[in-house]
Amino acid sequence: MADAPPPLDRVQLDAYFALIEVVGLLRHAVEQQLREAGDLSYVQFQLLARLNDAPTGSHRMTDLADGVVYSRSGLTYQAGLLEKAGLVTRAPSAEDERSITVTITDDGRARVAKVLPGHAEVISRMLLEPLSRDDVEALAGLLEPVRDHMRATPPRSAATRRRRR
């Protein structure tokens, strides 16, 4: 054994626990709202929202999976459900025969529009309410570098295959 790893101090633990707990509670609330308002799971909503924001209204499967931090096989399943529901379409990419391009349909956009207000309402009530405008700015300012760090550093999350050079 080399040096014992430095244990975390009180403040670090506080920040970590608060982070996990806040997101856990928030996700629960959001999930419930999405289910009631538009019969969507959280992942499905995230996928539709991403497609809805994309200039072309479409993305590759892999990019979607990475974007929402999800397994590839899980994405295949969810994309299948969304397609069955008529909210997206799947088509092989012209440029790369291997890729599938997922595109949001008008029904998909409508569904997003339908649940969005309630979604915003939950975020406001649960997360934003106890924070001042400056607080929210500070929070975003703190977390964004962390996200970038995590995206850049790690050995590519749950992918069986990684490595590229």
Partner DNA sequence: ACCAGGTGCTTCGAACTTGAAGCACGCCAC
Partner DNA sequence: GTGGCGTGCTTCAAGTTCGAAGCACCTGGT
Looking at 12-20, 45-53, 69-77, 117-125, which segment touches DNA (CB under 7 A)?
69-77
Instruction: Please report how close the Cβ of residue 84 comes to its own copies at its closest, in angstroms.
Output: 25
By C-beta, is 10 or 165 nearer to DNA?
165
By C-beta, is 91 or 143 nearer to its own copies?
143
Instruction: Please report how close the Cβ of residue 25 comes to DNA at its closest, in angstroms.
Output: 12
Residue 104: Cβ within 10 Å count: 25
**Residue of the chain from 30, 37, 45, 70 that contacts DNA (CB under 7 A):** 70
Point out which residues bind DNA (CB under 7 A): 32, 41, 43, 60-63, 70-81, 90, 93, 96-101, 158, 160-164
